[in-house]
Amino acid sequence: SWTTGNVIEEQVARIREQIGEGSAICALSGGVDSAVAAALVQRAIGDRLTCVYVNHGLMRQDESAQIEKAFGESTGGAKLVVVDAEDQFLTALAGVTDPERKRKIIGHEFIRTFEQAQADILRAQGVIEGDHAEATAFLVQGTLYPDVVESGGGEGAANIKSHHNVGGLPEDLSFELVEPLRTLFKDEVRAVGHELGLPDEIVWRQPFPGPGLGIRIIGEVTKERLDILRAADAIARAELTAAGLDRDIWQCPVVLLADVRSVGVQGDHRTYGHPVVLRPVTSDDAMTADWAKVPYEVLSRISTRITNEVREINRVTLDVTSKPPGTIEWE
Ligand code: XMP
């Protein structure tokens, strides 16, 4: 019968068999899937696993530091390479307002950055050049069963096609995928993560899109706008957490309508600021969603705090649209 213990034992044995004496690389997104996949592989092959986390500058407040810390604590010191690519991503996004172009640019920069890190790691390990030029590089991915079924699902920026050749690497160097979560559903992955000792903040992390806050700013993405949105988002998350609602709601995107301004009044001053949209939803699988009936007093606290503490924002609005016809994210 299915137990998390069985799954862990079985997957660790399979990973050992697949990778043998080889080494592996894993792209961490900060989400539960890639974290659990990495933890399983780490258990199987120890420090022959190197994880790569690309900070694209589109994460929420303190998020990159939290991911780094939680990762170190939970995997007993697996190797982690953090690539700080904020400038590179923001430069590539300058002047871009179309959401699909934003997604393409972010995806493209992600692959480029990850491949560069990967090449550096493989070179350092002697997999490229030298005696081991024939070696296969293993790439760990947190693909879940629904991703396999939906094939073409799993649209995260970290989703890298199998056996693609990598610019700057030898033509014949292919990647063999290691996907220890291929037969599991999300709730099973959370149970495995918990059993492996991953902290709750990773195991119960709500979904967050690969392109991050880049698609929650309606209009051009700039550092200044990201900082405004990060401040508002941090307040909304803190108040929802304080109200004990984290597991009741699927997620609550906060969206900055960066090109919209309206007149307000604060103290005896006229303001001309931006609105943010709160988008709390309930869902089972993100295919459909309902707007979450967050208690008025919680909404009220979020609104008061955001307009008091974030100077550039003078209105807080609530999205009361289901999916369909809306999507969860605004972009
Ligand atoms: P939508 O907006 O399509 O979102 O209703 C459905 C769910 O998917 C998340 N999402 C993404 N997750 N990479 C991801 O890993 C992405 O590019 C991406 N876009 C949307 C979204 O947060 C919601 O949970």
Prior bond to 325 cis, omega within 30?
yes
Our CA dihedral for 205, 208, 212, 214, rounded to 10 degrees, sits at -140
High-pLDDT (> 90) share of the chain, %: 70
Gap from CA of 153 to ligand 1 centroid (Å): 10
ipTM (interface pTM): 0.98
Name the closest-CA residue to atom 3, ligand 1.
327
CA distance 276 to 58: 17
CB 219 within 8 A of CB 101: no
Q: Can you read off the two tokens belonging to residue 281?
A: 């939803």
Q: What is the pLDDT of residue 166?
A: 46
* φ, ψ for residue 59, nearest 5 deg: -85, 170
User: What are the domain boundaries of the chain?
Assistant: 4-203, 216-318
Helices 186-195 and 4-19, packing angle to 10 deg = 90
Pocket probe for ligand 1: among 100, 102, 249, 329, the residue whose CB has the most ligand atoms within 8 Å is 329
pLDDT in tens, the chain (331 residues): 789 999 999 999 999 999 999 889 999 988 899 999 999 999 999 989 999 999 999 999 999 998 888 777 766 667 899 999 999 999 999 999 999 999 999 999 998 898 889 888 888 877 776 555 455 689 999 999 888 886 654 444 344 444 444 445 555 556 789 999 999 998 999 999 999 988 888 898 999 999 999 999 999 999 999 999 999 999 999 999 999 999 999 999 999 999 999 999 998 999 999 999 999 999 988 899 999 999 999 999 999 999 999 999 999 999 999 999 999 999 9
Which residue ranges are tagged as binding site? 29-35
For 159-178, letters b (16+ CB in 10 Å) and e give bbeeeeebeebeeebebeeb
CB 255 within 8 A of CB 216: yes
Tell me the binding residues for ATP.
29-35
| Atom nearest to 289 CA in ligand 1 | 5
CATH architecture for the domain at 216-318: 2-Layer Sandwich (3.30)
* DSSP strand pairing (262-266 vs 269-278): antiparallel
Rounded Cα distance between 258 and 99, Å, is 14
Give me ligand 1 centre to Cα 248, in Å.
18
Atom nearest to 250 CA in ligand 1: 24
Tokens matching residue 60: 């929420």
Q: Are 197 and 77 contacting, i.e. CB atoms less than 8 angstroms apart?
A: no
Residues in the chain: 331
Q: Which residues have CB under 6 Å of ligand 1?
A: 155-156, 207, 209-211, 251, 286, 323, 327-329
Please state which CATH class domain 4-203 belongs to.
Answer: alpha beta
* Sheet architecture: strand order including 24-28: 79-84, 49-55, 24-28, 137-140, 175-178
Do residues 276 and 257 touch, judged by C-beta distance below 8 A? yes
The token duo for 114 is 């990850």
> Residue 243 carries which side chain, given as an amino acid letter?
A
**β-strand partners of 271:** 264
Structure-token match 């862990």, residue found: 8
Distance CA 180, CA 176 (A): 13
179 neighbors 299 (Cβ within 8 angstroms)? no
Helix (H, G, I), strand (E, B), or coil: what is residue 149? helix
Minimal-distance CA residue to ligand 1 atom 6 = 286
The C-alpha atoms of residue 315 and residue 274 are separated, in whole angstroms, by 7
Residue nearest (by alpha carbon) to ligand 1 atom 9: 209
